[in-house]
Structure 1
Amino acid sequence: MTFQVTVTPSGRQFSCEADETVLNAALRAGLILPYGCKNGACGSCKGKVNSGSVVHGNHQQRALPDTEEAAGMALFCCAKPQSDLTIEAREIVSDGDYPVKKLPTRIARMEKLSHDVMLVALQLPANEKLNYRAGQYIEFLLRDGKRRSYSMANAPHDAEQITLHIRHMPGGVFTDQVFSTMKERDILRFEGPQGSFFLREDSDKPIILLASGTGFAPIKALMEQLIHTGSTRPVSLYWGGRRPADLYMDALCQEWAAKLPHFRYIPVISDAQAEDNWTGRSGFVHQAVIADVADMSGYQVYACGAPVVVESAKRDFSAQCQLPADEFYADSFTSEADLAG
């Protein structure tokens, strides 16, 4: 059975099969709704069902608590229609210039950035080009049918190769391979670009970039895009880790801070040990932002990292610092543990 979905406030419409998620149907119709993990874990695709009903597949309670579902909220990445729908969601520009492709790729280079972070550079086929926005991600297509998502860590103008920052998750089917048997010249397949996390370049608002761990990868791509376009928007980058070694490209950030007059870099460590000799900012990274910027009403925020960091920032920046809800852009890095929890 096919149902009609109407998006407010735009009035755009698209069809959705009964066994299809609202998000997949929208993407198939060339209409991009905000989304991230597509697994019901990050909450990026959350919106309101104003009329009609949906049924949800597996999802995380923290992404859609029962109280919110009872109030008509839905996760469109795992919500399937039971009737015609009217939904309230923020649309994003058409992806006509950024078609999603399935491509083979050869591993061109592997470099350990820290004890548990590997840079993996991918070489595309000679006759193929991947058009993407800085901040988006690709999904590796594994032999067992599973997928693993990683953000591009370089801006598209520098995309002869695509670079990824992959953190080792011990016991992880894919990352165990990356840190043991995977080698240069291996062939993989991926699908992309994916995601609605990218730089909004039609604004002159100052920017806060917030990263935890390898959430720095898409943030790095955003910074490279800003540098490439010659942007003079003020940018403050807050990068959080447990130990100083977790900030595996600290030297690059320090270099940006020395060269770019509109850029500030604030590293934040939550669990420094005596042997680290850490003298910088301590605590939770999003709280460091709050301490520095009490009024965010005129800012844009781009946050990427662990779900708890992104969720805390979204909640507290809005409640305590007057950040407009539609100026918070995020990508949660969900692991298999997050999806199972």
Structure 2
Amino acid sequence: MSHQVALSFEDGVTRFIKVNPMETVADASYKARINIPLDCRDGACGTCKAFCESGSYDGGDYIEDALTDEEAEQGYCLPCQMMPESDLVLQIATTSDVAKTAASTYTATITALHRFSESTVGFTVEIPNRDDLVFLPGQYVNMTVPGTDQTRSYSFSTGPTQHELSFLVKITEGGLMSEYLRDRAQVGDELELAGPFGSFFLRERKRPALLLAGGTGLAPLLSILHKMQNDGSDLPAHLIYGVTFDHDLVELDKLAAYAESLPNFTFDHVVSDPASTAPNKGYVTGLIEPQHLNDGDVDVYLCGPPPMVEAVRTHLDEQGITPVNFYFEKFNNSATGPAGEAPAPTEAELAAAEKAAAETGRPVALGAATPQPGDLYEIGEEHPPVADSDAQFDARMALELGALELTIGRLTEQQLIEYRILAEASTASIDKDRFTDAAAFTDTNAAFHEFLFRCCGNPVLLEAYNRLEVTQLMHQVLRTAEWVDERVPHDHLAIVEAFERNDRAAARELIVDHAEHAKETMRRAIAQRKVVTA
């Protein structure tokens, strides 16, 4: 009989292949157009060496130079020789990009074009398998420019539950996609999409929100507004939309409609051109009022060019305000690639972050990385420092709730089995409310929490999670800890059970509760360390 093999790549992407009887994993991979490392195919070089996380197999024939007996005992294997005897999970020592496997792709058909002005084009597409494309409000896809092998990245301006998918594009002179949309695009044209990508998305709402958009950075915020409306939230939300010239203003009618239909939503727009006829002239920061910041108890979502992001940061510093959460996505319209337009960022380049130590008194920065030449987006987060580590765990919870939406009801039977194995492994180092091995728990706990991000097929989201450095913090704080909230290991198993039942509501509640149990464990450990060192 055939077996399913999960190939887990270093960038967090997991791909599944079917391996037939008497077929090696490497042969099956290449049949599926997944080019894992391979050279000799005879078990002589070790190029394809991988690690088997679970399952049984016949290791085949190979020489000592390719794989030692000690390595084989540890679980290392050679895909060019191994034949599965059960379903397997393999760690592949390369990224999915190198292996030429990628996120899901879709063929879309343009159903509407709206050339708003000389500076902006909007367009709408449909895909036949719409239910297969699950995204979070604020995320983006990569599009292949028709007639080329070049891709460009655009955020959805429609919500996750809307059938049609819409986008806003700023026209850049000499840009491949810009010129296609401006000069040649027609209803009925086909576009290739890949994604979704990105870690800029609406988190669970607990407080007022301030949404700041620069130019076509309005697109992901429109998607976020649709989600807010669907959720029935009545928490205050205010949007400030800034552009350079009057003709850059788009979708004001949609914003007005949301102001009518979404409780406690208001918006302003501002134009920087002194000759503008708009009621507000200047910049976004000039319209940020104290009530919008709510004394810092606010979630700020900002999408715009880098100078706008820095201007908002400066404004907040001058006001002495540190928002509870500051999520941003920078895009650089002036960045030019070989074709004169910003190329799509690579998955590895997109999201990066830094965490400032809590004792510095500066914000905990969870993004963004220095962009590589030609990058279009930088994505990141900032949260206020707290000595008891709550910020990291709240940020992890917010990301996990996003990963939940992307994976619930979509995990395969094999993935659910792996998820349960990881949950059970995390309980082995706990006896009721005591750690038997805190370091081992921290490692198995990290594998459990990373799992959903690996299943998303979104390396940017995985990178955002890794940059929180929760595992490093736990290793530091729990090194000598003894007490653990006894609900923690039970939470892991209960979350898996909710996924097995496809119970979204239960899974969300459990993830939120688990964050509180984890924070209590960390607080107790920090307090104990202070007593010991006093």
The reply to whether residue 151 of structure 1 matches residue 155 of structure 2 is: yes
Residues 293, 162 of structure 1: alpha-carbon distance in 2 compared, 3 angstrom cutoff: closer
1:284 positional shift: 1.4
2: CA distance, partners of 1:115 / 1:292: 36
2:209 to 207, 210, 217: 207
Residues 136, 340 of structure 1: alpha-carbon distance in 2 compared, 3 angstrom cutoff: closer
1:245 positional shift: 3.0
- Contact kept, 8 Å, 1:120 with 1:164, in 2: the verdict is yes
The reply to whether residue 111 of structure 1 matches residue 114 of structure 2 is: yes
1:28 positional shift: 2.5
**Could you say which residue in structure 2 is the equivalent of 1:28?**
13
Amino acid at match of 2:272: S
Amino acid at match of 1:184: V
Amino acid at match of 2:170: R
1:166 positional shift: 1.2
Residues 251, 131 of structure 1: alpha-carbon distance in 2 compared, 3 angstrom cutoff: same
- Identify, as 1 or 2, the structure richer in strand: 1
1:263 positional shift: 1.1
- Contact kept, 8 Å, 1:166 with 1:175, in 2: the verdict is yes
**Could you say which residue in structure 2 is the equivalent of 1:33?**
none
Residues 340, 101 of structure 1: alpha-carbon distance in 2 compared, 3 angstrom cutoff: closer
1:243 positional shift: 2.5
The reply to whether residue 217 of structure 1 matches residue 219 of structure 2 is: yes
2: CA distance, partners of 1:174 / 1:123: 18
1:213 positional shift: 0.7
Amino acid at match of 1:153: S
SS of structure 1 residue aligned to 2:228: helix
Which structure has more relative contact order (CA 8 Å, sep 6+)? It is: 1
1: CA distance, partners of 2:285 / 2:166: 26
Residues 127, 322 of structure 1: alpha-carbon distance in 2 compared, 3 angstrom cutoff: closer
Residues 293, 235 of structure 1: alpha-carbon distance in 2 compared, 3 angstrom cutoff: closer
Deviations 1:175-214 (A, max 9, x none): 111100111111111111010111012x321000000111
2: CA distance, partners of 1:173 / 1:230: 40
**Could you say which residue in structure 2 is the equivalent of 1:310?**
309
Amino acid at match of 2:221: I
Amino acid at match of 2:218: F
**Could you say which residue in structure 1 is the equivalent of 2:332?**
334
**Could you say which residue in structure 1 is the equivalent of 2:321?**
322
**Could you say which residue in structure 1 is the equivalent of 2:239?**
237
Residues 294, 225 of structure 1: alpha-carbon distance in 2 compared, 3 angstrom cutoff: closer
Amino acid at match of 1:267: H
1:247 positional shift: 1.9
SS of structure 2 residue aligned to 1:210: strand
Amino acid at match of 1:329: Y
1:229 positional shift: 1.0
The reply to whether residue 131 of structure 1 matches residue 134 of structure 2 is: yes
Percentage of matched positions with identical amino acids:
25
The reply to whether residue 102 of structure 1 matches residue 105 of structure 2 is: yes
Residues 199, 154 of structure 1: alpha-carbon distance in 2 compared, 3 angstrom cutoff: same
2: CA distance, partners of 1:292 / 1:150: 32
Please give the residue correspondences for 1:174-213 in structure 2 after superposition, counting only pairs within 5 Å: 174-201=177-204, 203-213=205-215
**Could you say which residue in structure 2 is the equivalent of 1:96?**
none
Residues 340, 127 of structure 1: alpha-carbon distance in 2 compared, 3 angstrom cutoff: closer
1: CA distance, partners of 2:295 / 2:178: 37
1:252 positional shift: 2.2
Amino acid at match of 1:205: R
Please give the residue correspondences for 1:210-289 in structure 2 after superposition, counting only pairs within 5 Å: 210-273=212-275, 276-278=276-278, 280-289=279-288
- Identify, as 1 or 2, the structure richer in helix: 2
**Could you say which residue in structure 2 is the equivalent of 1:78?**
none
SS of structure 2 residue aligned to 1:106: strand
2: CA distance, partners of 1:146 / 1:277: 38
1:255 positional shift: 3.0
Residues 29, 254 of structure 1: alpha-carbon distance in 2 compared, 3 angstrom cutoff: same
1:144 positional shift: 4.3
- Contact kept, 8 Å, 1:207 with 1:301, in 2: the verdict is yes
- Contact kept, 8 Å, 1:242 with 1:270, in 2: the verdict is yes
1:110 positional shift: 0.9
Residues 263, 128 of structure 1: alpha-carbon distance in 2 compared, 3 angstrom cutoff: closer
SS of structure 2 residue aligned to 1:107: strand
1: CA distance, partners of 2:160 / 2:127: 13
Deviations 1:312-336 (A, max 9, x none): 2234325634224x61111122333
TM-score with structure 1 setting the length: 0.65
Amino acid at match of 1:317: L
TM-score with structure 2 setting the length: 0.43
**Could you say which residue in structure 2 is the equivalent of 1:168?**
171
1:292 positional shift: 5.9
1:293 positional shift: 4.4
SS of structure 2 residue aligned to 1:228: helix
Residues 259, 155 of structure 1: alpha-carbon distance in 2 compared, 3 angstrom cutoff: closer
- Contact kept, 8 Å, 1:296 with 1:321, in 2: the verdict is no
- Contact kept, 8 Å, 1:138 with 1:190, in 2: the verdict is yes
Runs of 4+, deviation exceeding 6 Å? none
- Contact kept, 8 Å, 1:295 with 1:323, in 2: the verdict is no
Residues 179, 127 of structure 1: alpha-carbon distance in 2 compared, 3 angstrom cutoff: closer
- Contact kept, 8 Å, 2:238 with 2:292, in 1: the verdict is no
1:116 positional shift: 2.2
Deviations 1:34-62 (A, max 9, x none): xxxxxxxxxxxxxxxxxxxxxxxxxxxxx
Amino acid at match of 1:149: S
Structure 2 spans left out of the alignment, 5+ residues: 1-7, 16-101, 337-341, 343-372, 376-534
Please give the residue correspondences for 1:1-80 in structure 2 after superposition, counting only pairs within 5 Å: 16=10, 25=11, 27-28=12-13
Residues 315, 123 of structure 1: alpha-carbon distance in 2 compared, 3 angstrom cutoff: same
Residues 262, 291 of structure 1: alpha-carbon distance in 2 compared, 3 angstrom cutoff: closer
1:129 positional shift: 2.6
Deviations 1:96-120 (A, max 9, x none): xxx9411111111111223321111
Deviations 1:205-237 (A, max 9, x none): 100000011111111110111011101110010
SS of structure 1 residue aligned to 2:133: coil
Residues 196, 190 of structure 1: alpha-carbon distance in 2 compared, 3 angstrom cutoff: same
- Contact kept, 8 Å, 2:246 with 2:277, in 1: the verdict is no
**Could you say which residue in structure 2 is the equivalent of 1:55?**
none
